[in-house]
A and B are shown apart, each in its own frame.
Chain A
Amino acid sequence: MLVMLALPAVMACYYHGLAALRLILICMASAVLLEISGAFLMRCPRDLRDLSALFIGAAIPLMLPVSIPARIAVTGVAFGILAVKLPLGGTFSAPFVPAAAGFAFISICWPAAVFSYPLAGTGGAVEGESLARMLSQGTSIRPNTINVFDILIGNVPGPMGAACIIVLLGSMAFMLLRNPRAIVNVLSFLGVCATMAALFPRIYGGLRLLSLMMELCSGLLVFAALFLLTDPATSPKKLYRRAMYGAMTAVICMLLRRFGRFEESVCFAVLISNAIWPQIERWLKRALKEHEKKRKEASVTDKEAVSDA
């Protein structure tokens, strides 16, 4: 996962220069320090070898604008590690995705800072209008106002590591090679998001194809699908359950995008999904068990009937 994060990090540095690199390094260093000190204070075993602290430290700044003060990004990292990851069971057992929780926390604390994206190459001096904000305001977006190629290469205002769609697709290809099962979460999530975007366009004029592209390319959608939805602790194991989990998160995400408080609510959708999924999985298991029981009973009765005959 950390290797996959390297690609968007490189692009963030390419577009925003040393400011992006500095922010990412500060957050990663803070994450390691917080993990060590937090584990000591909370008396829980620490294992830095799983690199999850570094992952949280890198993922949260990549979801933020480059202009954000470092203390806000570090607060998000601290929340993810100290309030979610360590006290609720660590990398492989925490019931919520720590990076999503960290981002959600800072977005309710400082929404103005978290959702103000500067134009690439201005060093954070000039604020731009992100695609997610345009969509949330129902602003008319047409290919002649924004270059589609710019959107794909991330040359638009947006989160520094999540704007470049081509690079994220590269990360997805890497995931396909290294962890093909996880790609089911991603594909089902993006598929349902695309379907909902096409069916219920938010852009002026209701252009379905354009709506689909804008929704998928805006905000943190692809980034969250790749890095938050595939979290080993919260993601289901079986393939069809992974698909269901991805689809459910997509529905919640699109509802939140349309009716929610913030222009980008995918992290809240991931948290809600983390909370709902265990209950759904329980019902699913129970239903399957009953179905299996009935099937067995039916086969036994059939056999008895055959033997009687």
Chain B
Amino acid sequence: MPEQTKQRKELSPREIFLNGVILTNPLLVQVVGLCVAVTASSTLKAALLLSAVLSASLLLCEAAASALLKSAVQFIRVATYMAIGLSVACPVIFFLSGRGSPLLVNTGIYLPLLAANSLVALRCEKFAIKADVPRSLLDALANALGASIVLISSGLARELLGAGTLYGREIFGEAPLPAMQMPFGGFLVLGFSAVTLKLFISIFMPDHSAEMPFRIKKTNRSQMKKDKDNDRDQELRGKGQEADNLSAREPAAAKPVQERPVPVPSTPEQPKPALPVQKEPVHEPVPKKPKKKKEISDAQSGKNRPKQFVSEFYGTMSEDDLFEMPDITFEQKDPDEAFAQLLAELTEKND
């Protein structure tokens, strides 16, 4: 990776903190760790307990991932996060059950489930294993704070509306909206919280994008076919065929993919890319196109059947599925195609 790109992608501690708490709020923007948010955090007490356990396991996991697990195999790492989560949650359950706390009844089986929370795995794999310990801790703190704010406000709203109480004390004689205690109420509160966050960003942080797009990703056969066509083009180019036709594209082939600017959609019907708040770009894996193409060509030639299965199964997405953010909005064009389009536009202008 060129040094310049590396520098551009570095995030300051302030940015890490703002991203974790507001801009890429784990629950409202990254849409992770919803299980406890929609069900167990139906009262303020439960929300406080869950927030504390979640924060502790996130801090421990990110610290461990950053300090010890960088060189470990991925599946060992992911299993370790869950083991750490269990080591935090189980003593809490033991302590609460020893005291016969009613909180345990409220949180039910959701407390141990925090160990399998997708938020922990996502942050560790997306951030901690690529950063140093202090930055990982800061990220963990920011994300824990972001998640806790949502959990606690959701617990507060749901307890007030669903039970008419606040921290166990009666506020209204009768529950205003009893259904808010159900998971349905949790989703509803999250929906309106996401709107509030969006409003907050657009008012107080106008430099950042408040968009939270959520859309079907094109990982279908047509895209695979397009990539296969590109492969075929490259093969033909290699053999020296269609030299005249392809001469205009040669510079594009010679130019390394990484050095090209991010293609901006030029056609009006394409959605606008999000503003440069693309959260934590430092940890976005660079698309490894050549490797992918090799996989497909291997699969086509029938050299490696299992790999063919895997590549068909996963389409041609270059980014890691598990740790992909839902709010990625860049519509990455095929570099060759983008270059050809640019060339066509320039030719038109010259004419």
A, B co-complexed:
yes
Specify the chain B residue showing the minimal Cβ separation from A42. B195
Does any Cβ of B come within 8 Å of A75's Cβ? yes
Quick one: which of B170-191 are within 8 Å of A by CB? 177-179, 182, 184, 188, 191
Interface centre among B179, B182, B184, B195 (most CB of A within 10 A): B179
Q: Which of A87, A108, A110 contacts B182 (CB 8 A)?
A: A108
Interface centre among B177, B178, B188, B191 (most CB of A within 10 A): B177
A63-89 vs B, Cβ < 8 Å mask (1 yes, 0 no): 000000000000100000001000100
A87 to B194, CA, bound (A): 12
CB-defined contacts of B182 to chain A, threshold 8 Å: 108
Quick one: which of B153-174 are within 8 Å of A by CB? none
Summed over the interface, the residue pairs from A and B with CB atoms below 8 Å come to a total of: 13
A75 to B174, CA, bound (A): 15
Interface size, chain B (Cβ < 8 Å): 8
A87-115 vs B, Cβ < 8 Å mask (1 yes, 0 no): 10000000000000000010011100000
Specify the chain A residue showing the minimal Cβ separation from B199. A43
Cβ A75 vs Cβ B188 within 8 A: no
Specify the chain B residue showing the minimal Cβ separation from A108. B179
The contact size tier of chain A is: under 10
A75 to B177, CA, bound (A): 9
CB-defined contacts of A105 to chain B, threshold 8 Å: 179
Cβ B178 vs Cβ A110 within 8 A: yes
Quick one: which of B105-150 are within 8 Å of A by CB? none
Shortest CB distance A264–B (Å):
17
Specify the chain A residue showing the minimal Cβ separation from B184. A108
Shortest CB distance A291–B (Å):
19
A110 to B184, CA, bound (A): 15
CB-defined contacts of B188 to chain A, threshold 8 Å: 83
A75 to B195, CA, bound (A): 21
A105 to B178, CA, bound (A): 10
A299 to B179, CA, bound (A): 58
Specify the chain A residue showing the minimal Cβ separation from B162. A109
A185 to B146, CA, bound (A): 47
Shortest CB distance A110–B (Å):
7
CB-defined contacts of B191 to chain A, threshold 8 Å: 87
A109 to B179, CA, bound (A): 5
A302 to B58, CA, bound (A): 66
**Subset of 13 A-B contacts with CB under 8 Å:** A75-B177, A83-B188, A87-B191, A87-B195, A105-B179, A108-B178, A108-B179, A108-B182, A108-B184, A109-B177, A109-B178, A109-B179, A110-B178
Chain A interface residues (CB < 8 Å from chain B): 75, 83, 87, 105, 108-110
Task: Give 7 closest A-B pairs by Cβ, nearest first.
Answer: A109-B179, A108-B179, A109-B178, A109-B177, A105-B179, A83-B188, A108-B182
A87-B191, A109-B178 are known contacts; what are 7 more A-B pairs with Cβ within 8 Å?
A75-B177, A83-B188, A87-B195, A105-B179, A108-B178, A108-B182, A109-B179
